[in-house]
A and B are shown apart, each in its own frame.
Chain A
Amino acid sequence: MSLLQIDQLSVRFGATMALDSLSLAIAAGETLALVGESGSGKSTAALAIAGLLSHQATVTGTIRFDGQALTDWRGVRQGGIAMVFQDAMSALNPVHRIGAQVVEALRLPRAEQRVAAARFLDQVGLPQPERLVDAYPHELSGGMRQRVGIAIAVAQNPRLLIADEPTTALDVTIQAQILALLRDLKARLGLSLLLVTHDLGVVAETADRVAVLYAGCLMELAPAAALFTSPHHPYTQGLLEARPPFGTQAPMLAELVEIPGQLPRLDPPPAGCRFAARCDRADQRCRAEQPVLRPIADTLVACHHA
């Protein structure tokens, strides 16, 4: 049984359809990568799962975690799901000490707080955790701050860790360290990982399966290896062609997409296939009828012509 099971999850911000009928599952211990260009709904999906959507969002569909349906779209997923954010600087409260932020929600007696905080900081590989406990976020480097962000997540003792572009804001060398840390934690703590990213290199290194989002719709869901060797969806194929040679620095996906055109407006979304305006295989049918996911080998693809 999957740890997380999403069915027909849709999120609207007013007229904007940010996420359209997303269905997917994450198994215990699995790493699922969520990719797509900017505005495709990755964060929306992540926040919906974490229960962090803002009040403007209208949500339909179901999310089951460990068999339990999550009914409150803006409730904390206590002890189950934790989240790491993209910008580690702004994700930490500038006026509180690191240690206090790590253990803030743990309801520990005052005396135990420092020790506990130091333990979590140690767990994410930060040096001199006893001293860091008293530091403020601005005194730390970007990589250290992201480790603190991860420590905060780990402190909640989660089973699913959502990481929304956890390395985008960091230097390349640091990116690698953070990814290594995430992989390490996953292994040590037996976590499932939902990794939102732009970086197909990261996907290749880290993910078990990949979900490709485009304009709020799931276009392709495939095992990582299969996706790289035989992408089925025209959008995925475009992405992979545009990918720089392996090992070079991976810039943000949005900048490197060489597929001409841009995301369609989502208020409301166009009829037919969302990708039709940019797809060289698009025809009459594509523009009229929205493709549904269908299996091709061990992949799910939403395309009339795949």
Chain B
Amino acid sequence: MKPGQLGQVVRRRLAHAVPVLLVVALATFGLLKLAPGDAVDVLIATGGGGDAALAADLRRAYGLDQPWPAQLAHYLWRLVQLDLGYSFVHNRPVSHLIWERLPVSLLLMASATAFAVGFGIVLGVSAGQTPGGWRDRLILSVGLVLYAMPSFWVGLMLILIFAVKLALFPVGGFETAASDLTGIARVLDIAWHAVLPTVALALLFVSVYLRLMRAGVVEVASADFVRTARAKGVGATRILWAHVARNALLPVVAMVGVQAATLLGGAVVIESVFSLPGLGRLAYDSVLARDLVVLLGLLLTSAVIVIAINTVVDLVVAALDPRVVAR
């Protein structure tokens, strides 16, 4: 990829992003307006109850007494000004809420993707090396099991085994609460907390990537250039990794972009099970609280994350595959 192409890739993605974001905003708004109940009902109920006047006061304060087209217009107008709005449920600007939770989700997504891609590649190569062999069959069956297991269950099992029985990892949390750790000690503490949620979130994707990788390895292994490499006397290990795996990797990397949205979805569950203060949990709580502004903000953020991941994937693919040029 040539230097100028980076800007081009990003610009093209952004041009696609604007209509996508608008559709996301409209669809979310519509869906939430269709869902029964509103933020005030929940606020009063979770506050232990209250009278009708209180509800009316709150509804007026939140603008929920306005007709919905007015609410929508108001929201879109603020959005144009890059203002995600203010959550009355949290009493804070939506952007603060999201900003505060973003690093947790990004860390979880990045580590889970790295884990899933890493293990997917190793297992996929190892299975695809001898298609139909015992190792292939074993890995494929394990992959199928991983694919079928619900991730909250995997999460709880990991907790039971590695946190409760073996006491190797913490049960949950982003870092040790009130530990006063700083610097490298804090980073290690966060990493230690991230191990189980990363694995729990990644396992499903391990199976996705390993199957893709395996199929790629089997296919590429019979490619002419592999025969060329054999003919010129390249060693088996180097053929496997530098030729076969290197080429089979391309669809796997492309798949990371496709899976970005699923990954975000999976994070919702994992963040709950592991008490992680990420975007997914904020979304879950916001649905239950019918906190429309936060949800809209989150969905827009998610759309931006997915678009950003796909842009990065584009760039990585372009870097890995010289045939791909930025259009």
Touch between chains A and B, by CB atoms below 8 Å: yes
Please report A residues at the B interface, Cβ cutoff 8 Å: 50, 52, 54, 76, 78, 82-83, 85, 87, 90-96, 101, 104-105, 136, 138-139, 149, 152-153, 155-156
A95 close to B322 (CB less than 8 A): yes
**Roughly how many angstroms separate A78 CA and B232 CA in the complex, as a whole number?**
8
CB distance from A90 to the nearest CB of B (A): 4
Determine the residue in chain B with the shortest Cβ distance to A139: B322
Contacts of B230 in A (CB 8 A): 52, 76
Contacts of A152 in B (CB 8 A): 228, 231-232
A90 close to B224 (CB less than 8 A): yes
Contacts of B241 in A (CB 8 A): none
**Roughly how many angstroms separate A92 CA and B320 CA in the complex, as a whole number?**
16
Given contacts A94-B321, A94-B323, A95-B247, are A87 and B224 in contact (CB under 8 A)? yes
Given contacts A93-B247, A94-B321, A136-B323, are A105 and B234 in contact (CB under 8 A)? yes
27 contacts between A and B (CB under 8 A): A50-B231, A52-B227, A52-B230, A52-B231, A76-B230, A76-B232, A78-B233, A82-B231, A85-B224, A90-B223, A91-B224, A92-B225, A93-B225, A93-B229, A94-B322, A95-B250, A95-B320, A96-B243, A96-B246, A104-B229, A136-B322, A136-B323, A139-B322, A152-B228, A153-B232, A156-B232, A156-B233
B227 close to A91 (CB less than 8 A): yes
**Roughly how many angstroms separate A155 CA and B246 CA in the complex, as a whole number?**
23
Please report B residues at the A interface, Cβ cutoff 8 Å: 222-225, 227-234, 242-243, 246-247, 250, 320-323
Determine the residue in chain A with the shortest Cβ distance to B222: A54
A92 close to B321 (CB less than 8 A): no
A-B contact count (CB 8 A): 70
Residue from B223, B225, B233, B246 within 8 A of A105 (CB atoms): B233
Contacts of B320 in A (CB 8 A): 95
- Most interface-central of A54, A76, A139, A156 (chain B CB within 10 A): A76
B321 close to A95 (CB less than 8 A): yes
Residue from A85, A94, A153 within 8 A of B227 (CB atoms): A85
Determine the residue in chain B with the shortest Cβ distance to A100: B242
Known pairs A76-B233, A93-B247. 19 more at Cβ < 8 A? A52-B231, A54-B222, A82-B231, A85-B224, A90-B224, A90-B225, A91-B225, A92-B225, A94-B321, A95-B250, A95-B321, A96-B243, A105-B232, A152-B228, A152-B231, A152-B232, A153-B231, A153-B232, A156-B232
Residue from B232, B242, B247, B323 within 8 A of A82 (CB atoms): B232
Contacts of B242 in A (CB 8 A): 96
Contacts of A136 in B (CB 8 A): 322-323
CB distance from A33 to the nearest CB of B (A): 20
- Most interface-central of A83, A105, A156 (chain B CB within 10 A): A105
**Roughly how many angstroms separate A136 CA and B321 CA in the complex, as a whole number?**
10
B228 close to A138 (CB less than 8 A): no
Given contacts A87-B224, A136-B322, are A93 and B243 in contact (CB under 8 A)? yes
Contacts of B321 in A (CB 8 A): 94-95
Contacts of A149 in B (CB 8 A): 228
Determine the residue in chain B with the shortest Cβ distance to A92: B225
**Roughly how many angstroms separate A153 CA and B224 CA in the complex, as a whole number?**
14
Task: Give the 4 A-B residue pairs with the shortest CB-CB distance, closest first.
Answer: A90-B224, A136-B322, A93-B225, A105-B233
B231 close to A83 (CB less than 8 A): yes
Determine the residue in chain A with the shortest Cβ distance to B220: A93
**Roughly how many angstroms separate A101 CA and B246 CA in the complex, as a whole number?**
14
**Roughly how many angstroms separate A184 CA and B234 CA in the complex, as a whole number?**
27
**Roughly how many angstroms separate A193 CA and B242 CA in the complex, as a whole number?**
30
Determine the residue in chain B with the shortest Cβ distance to A103: B232
CB distance from A110 to the nearest CB of B (A): 15
CB distance from A81 to the nearest CB of B (A): 9
**Roughly how many angstroms separate A236 CA and B197 CA in the complex, as a whole number?**
71
CB distance from A108 to the nearest CB of B (A): 13
Determine the residue in chain B with the shortest Cβ distance to A136: B322
CB distance from B87 to the nearest CB of A (A): 48
- Most interface-central of A90, A104, A156 (chain B CB within 10 A): A104
Determine the residue in chain B with the shortest Cβ distance to A135: B322
**Roughly how many angstroms separate A95 CA and B224 CA in the complex, as a whole number?**
14
- Most interface-central of B227, B232, B250 (chain A CB within 10 A): B232
Contacts of B243 in A (CB 8 A): 93, 96
Contacts of A95 in B (CB 8 A): 246-247, 250, 320-323
Determine the residue in chain A with the shortest Cβ distance to B227: A52
**Roughly how many angstroms separate A246 CA and B292 CA in the complex, as a whole number?**
81
A94 close to B233 (CB less than 8 A): no
Contacts of B231 in A (CB 8 A): 50, 52, 76, 82-83, 85, 152-153
**Roughly how many angstroms separate A8 CA and B321 CA in the complex, as a whole number?**
45
- Most interface-central of B227, B228, B231, B234 (chain A CB within 10 A): B231
CB distance from B133 to the nearest CB of A (A): 11
B228 close to A92 (CB less than 8 A): yes
Contacts of B222 in A (CB 8 A): 54
Residue from B224, B227, B232, B322 within 8 A of A138 (CB atoms): B322
Contacts of A101 in B (CB 8 A): 228
CB distance from B213 to the nearest CB of A (A): 16
Contacts of B223 in A (CB 8 A): 90
